[in-house]
Structure formats: C-alpha cells, structure tokens
A and B are shown apart, each in its own frame.
Chain A
Amino acid sequence: MQIVISIDDTDNLESRGTGEIASLIAEGLTEKGWGTASLVTRHQLLVHPDIPYTSHNSAMCFAAEIDEGAWEQVIGFAGEFLRRESAEGSDPGLCVVSLPGLRHTPELVEFGRRAKREVIAMPEAYQLAERLGVHLSEHGGTGQGIIGALAGAGLRLWGNDGRMKGSLTFARETVSVTELLAHPNVDEVRCVTGVQVSARDLVRLGEKPKTVLIGGASVLLVSAAESADVAWQTLHRRQLKDY
C-alpha cells in the first residue's frame, strides 16, 4: 500500500531540523520491516506574520510502500517519534495519507497549493483531513504544524513542488546522463531552458546537487556548462531556492 508521510514544525533555533526527523522516521519504518521509504522532499509554505514558524516554514515529506497491516503501527510510530524527538517550543504535526484510501486527491493538492499563498487555520485542515480520509494529528505545543503537514502531503502528491533533502553523491565530478539516470533518486535529467539532453552527454556536478519534483518525477536540472569540456552542469544552489 502506498502512503505519504508529511511532518511540520518539529524544530526550534537550536535543535536538529524537521528534515532529519523525517529521515529518521523513514529509516525506522524500514528497520521495523513495515515497508520501504523513498526520498524526503522539502516543501516551502507561506511566510507571513500571522503564521508561527521557526525560520523558514517548510514541511518535510516522503512516500513509502508499506504492508497494509502496518498502517496503524506506522502512524503510532511516527506520532510517538514526533512527540519524543520534537524540540521544546515546537508545534509538531503529522499527516499520513493512504493513497488507496484517499477520497479526492485534487482537493488535497489544492490545499497544499493554497498553503503557499494563504494563511489557513487549523479547523479547516482537520475538516479536510476527515473528509478525505487522511490521518492528521498534533504531537505537542499548539499542534499548529498540522496545517503544514497536510499541505506538505498535498504538495508532494501534486508532484510539482519541492526539492530533495540531502544531495546526490557520485565518485566523480563529471558523469554521463546515463550514469545519473541509474541513480535511484534521479528519474530525469532536464535542461532548465528546454534544450534536449542526450544520454551520452557529460554533466559536471556542482556542490551537493539536488533533484526537484516536476510532473511527479525527481528531476535533476542542468544548464549549459560554463566550460567547453562538458555539455552541462548542475544548477547553483541559489537557482534551486524557488523549488
């Protein structure tokens, strides 16, 4: 059974980040034999004076394939993990979506997209989660993180928002597109200006290259290389900030 897990508001200025907590939940799920998790993605939500957030208001999300019988255990494990590991003063929220059980995906996607441009209150998030058959729970503080958690799940399901947590690692600085596509976290290599990229082209990897979600795929964006010995180079970090 395919699920999506999304968390938000687990950190403070001194603690580890929400992304690390998401990774630990993903690892725990695998270690316990309930299933396997995919890469964690970061989703930017609205920054606004009326929204309490630590420093960036981003949600962290991952998809997983789990045994159907593990649904309740996964929710219990993730919730308990958030309660135990979230930082003092944080307001953690957890969203778990069963894809087979999700009643109306477009509504959840639209909620996620709205959370990037509007202030949304907690009751609306709970009402939507109940209507769609989505698990949504708070695990400390005000529980305000449920809004971002639900939004993060919607954005992940949309497939056109967010960048990967962590980065791609290769033994060499220059690799072919074919080699890039063999990486489990790379579905596509695409030029930002739309120029065709061919399998034999060489790509120079910048520092900590990251994929972004486009069309439901994990896409490594490249641009024309600044030097003539290779065709492409990965984008600078600043070029990825809006994903």
Chain B
Amino acid sequence: MWRTLENGTREFLPGKENWAAAALAALDCPGFLLDVDEEVIADEERSCYNCRYRRWSAASFTCQWRFQQG
C-alpha cells in the first residue's frame, strides 16, 4: 500500500480516490491525527485522507508522520 521515497516519507499507492484503502490504512495507525474540519474530505472520520499528517501530491499523498518521528 506504500512506497518509501528518497526523503524518507511514504507515498500512498492507492491514490486519492480509494476511500476504503485510506480508511483501512488509518485503522491501526498510531500517528493518526484528525485534521481541522475544513480539510476533512472522507466520510469515514478515521481515514488517511483526513489525517493532519498527509501531504497531498498530484497523484496521491505522502505520510509525514513517520518522517516527523525521524
């Protein structure tokens, strides 16, 4: 579901429209943090698409959480 980029962040391979995969990925993630309301887009609250640590890219998003933890 993920690939690690050169800078150490992980890119979400299912892209921007795979709602089920984004919810599944967030299910057991210890870093999940719900973003501010105006940036929440998934109906499943616990979703990587709603996470403060996702950084949107043209095709998908990268997870900044593990990157933040070093």
Q: Which A residues have a C-beta under 8 Å from some C-beta of B?
A: 13, 16-17, 19-20, 42, 47-49, 53-58, 60, 163, 165-167, 207-208, 236-238, 240-241
Contacts and interface: CB of A to CB of B under 8 A. Distances in A.
A237 B37 contact: no
B41 A48 contact: no
A238 B39 contact: no
Nearest to A22: B38
11 contacts: A13-B53, A19-B36, A47-B56, A55-B55, A58-B39, A163-B38, A237-B40, A237-B43, A238-B19, A238-B43, A241-B41
Majority SS at the chain A contact face:
loop
Q: Which are the 6 A-B pairs with shortest beta-carbon distances?
A: A17-B36, A241-B41, A19-B38, A165-B38, A55-B55, A42-B38
A56 B56 contact: yes
Contacts of A240: 41
Interface string B25-67: 0000000000111111111000000001111111000001000
Contact of B39 (A49, A56, A236): A56
Majority SS at the chain B contact face:
loop
Contacts of A165: 37-38
B54 A207 contact: no
B43 A166 contact: no
A56 B52 CA distance: 10
B64 A13 contact: yes
Contacts of B64: 13, 55
A4 to B, nearest CB: 18
Contact of A55 (B38, B40, B54, B58): B54
B37 A54 contact: no
A165 to B, nearest CB: 5
Nearest to A44: B56
Contacts of A13: 52-53, 64, 68
A48 B59 CA distance: 10
Contacts of A57: 56
Given A13-B52, A47-B57, A166 B37 contact: yes
Contacts of A49: 57
Contacts of B35: 17, 55
Nearest to B62: A55
B5 to A, nearest CB: 11
Contact of A207 (B38, B41, B43): B43
Given A47-B56, A47-B58, A237 B42 contact: yes
A17 B42 contact: no
B53, B55, B58 — which one has the most chain A CB atoms within 10 A of its CB? B55
Contacts of A58: 38-39
A60 B36 CA distance: 13
